[in-house]
Amino acid sequence: MNGKDLEERYALPIYPRRGVTIVRGEGALLWDDQGTEYLDCAAGVGVANIGHANPAVAAALAHQAESLITCPGIFFNDTRGRLMKKLVEVTPPGLERVFLCNSGTESTEAAIKFARKTTGRNGLVTAMRGFHGRTLGALSATFKYRDAFEPLLPNCSFVPLNNIDKLDAAIDDNTAAVILEPVQGEGGVRPANADYLAGARQLCDARGALLIIDEVQTGFCRTGAFFACQHHDLLPDMLCLAKGIAGGVPMGAVVCSARIDPGIGTHGSTFGGNPLACAAALAAIEFMQTQQLAEQARVRGDYFASQFNAHLPERVRDVRQIGLMIGIELKEKATPYLQALLNQGILALPAGPTVIRLLPPLVITEAQLDTVIEKLRLVLT
């Protein structure tokens, strides 16, 4: 049995499959089991920021695996300590402490618990169209995918993004935290504006609530800065991270200000901060720094927008782009065009029913972007 047959036989049917078996990757390219080449504008849903099979991460993994793979948080570890120091260095000022976990939804779960324990409150306020994960706590703060799993956490309210008056009305003396994405990913690649984010910070300070910024998808150079909140000099109380943090190795993190005090024993993660993942993350972040991937994402993203917007296909309603986080909103459903792009060798994602989302590896070249633009025009014309 081949990979497709094995998964069809044994996997719990949860994912909407595309019918392709990916077996190899390099940079912004992927190959299936038939040898067909694809330009990857999905990047494992925004994970492969430094490209597939990055040699620096592969070498770090091999080296670390020879000495120590796992080490629980009840013991200190040198590799873990170096990663925590690195995360504090690259995140916004005022973030001083790190909790390591295994995914984005775990980082949200931890942040919710930390907020409730620190403030003694239990309310959450977040944005319509926002996405923060699929486990029950994170799902409580997520606008979609909720109905089949209710009741979820109580006292979770949703307000329109970029409407400061609605946010003002929603934050009360039971609000533990406001949770926002600086750019909504699953919600259609919709940026929060600078005034709204600054207003959220001010409202949280005035009402004793914490501000949690979810950079699971926007982080690690995706938007043309190391973190999207840095475009606005926004200083959160907690920053939720995952996806691109470790070059494709599962990892998540919450980086916290001095206000956060959950207490010893209130949370944990068996695999969180294991030395193998920490070594991968160190190598990935150092690659981002030495290769100036934030600047590269800005330049390549602007190049894509200038070239594609010069002759927009008639089916396109809007293009929203910040760095190499791109949403192409159509006047009709996106699903048929995602399949058409797949047939043309381009892997892309949806972001709501009418949006094609492009999250290519940040190492993608201008020539490869030209190919993406050519294929987009072909299928959307």
**In terms of residues, how long is the chain?**
381
Helix (H) or strand (E) holding 285: helix 275-290
Instruction: List beta partners, residue 347.
Output: 40
Q: 3-class DSSP state for residue 275?
A: helix
Selecting among 220, 227, 243, 308, the annotated active-site residue is: 243
Residue 248 one-letter amino acid: G
With b for 16 or more beta-carbon neighbours within 10 A and e for fewer, the 340-350 pattern comes to ebbebbbbbbb
Selecting among 99, 131, 287, 304, the annotated active-site residue is: 131
Instruction: List beta partners, residue 183.
Output: 191
Taking the C-alpha atoms of residue 253 and residue 45, their distance in angstroms, rounded to an integer, is 17
Pair of tokens at residue 312 = 């927009």
DSSP string for 208-254: T-EEEEE-TTTTTTTTSSSSGGGGGT---SEEEE-GGGGTTS--EEE
Residue 218 one-letter amino acid: T
The yes-or-no answer on residue 33 being catalytic is no
| Count of H-run helices and E-run strands, the chain | 12, 17
Q: Are 121 and 273 in contact (CB under 8 A)?
A: no
Long-range contact set of residues 344-348: C-beta below 8 Å, sequence gap at least 24: 344/375, 344/378, 344/379, 345/36, 345/37, 345/38, 345/39, 345/375, 346/38, 346/39, 346/41, 346/371, 346/372, 346/375, 346/376, 347/30, 347/38, 347/39, 347/40, 347/41, 347/42, 348/41, 348/42
3 state SS for 325-360:
EEEEEECCCCHHHHHHHHHCCEECEECCCCEEEECC
Based on its alpha-carbon atoms, the radius of gyration of the chain, rounded to whole angstroms, reads: 20
Instruction: List beta partners, residue 321.
Output: 326
Q: Are 249 and 57 in contact (CB under 8 A)?
A: yes
Selecting among 99, 114, 214, 287, the annotated active-site residue is: 214
The yes-or-no answer on residue 243 being catalytic is yes
Residues noted as catalytic:
131, 214, 243
